[in-house]
Amino acid sequence: MDWRIFFTVFGSMLLMELGDKTQLATVSFAASQQSRLSVFLGAAAALVLTSFLGVVVGEAAAALVPALVVKRVCGGLFVVIGVLLIAGWF
């Protein structure tokens, strides 16, 4: 286990997830449901699954193309999605 990588990813993901639409949806569910534990477990399971899929896809992509290309494509998609969200098209 590489603790440096762990804490880098943990810190980055924590800062990126605070206040995003996923967290706001979770707040909304928690406010409107009786079982807060069910909301927490459902949200946590979904985040774990999407993180797992990201690792699997990232590993597969890195096996096919250089890591720098994967980073640039992901960064470009991040920017495109951000622009679409700001423009109200997504």
Q: Give the 3-state secondary structure of residue 81.
A: helix
pLDDT band at 30 (very low <50, low <70, confident <90, very high): very high
Angle in degrees, CA 65, 67, 71, rounded to 5:
110
CA distance to 34, 70, 72, 82, 84, per residue, from 77 (Å): 37, 11, 9, 8, 10
Q: Is the pTM of this model over 0.85?
A: no
As a whole number, the mean pLDDT across the chain is 91
Q: Which two tokens stand for residue 60?
A: 């597969």
Q: How high is the pLDDT of residue 83? A: 92
Q: Which ranges in 1-90 belong to alpha helices (H)?
A: 3-17, 21-32, 36-64, 67-87
Amino acid at 9: V
Share of the chain above pLDDT 70, in %: 99
Q: What is the largest CA-CA distance in the chain?
A: 48
Q: What is the pLDDT of residues 36-58, one digit of tens each?
A: 999 999 999 999 999 999 999 98
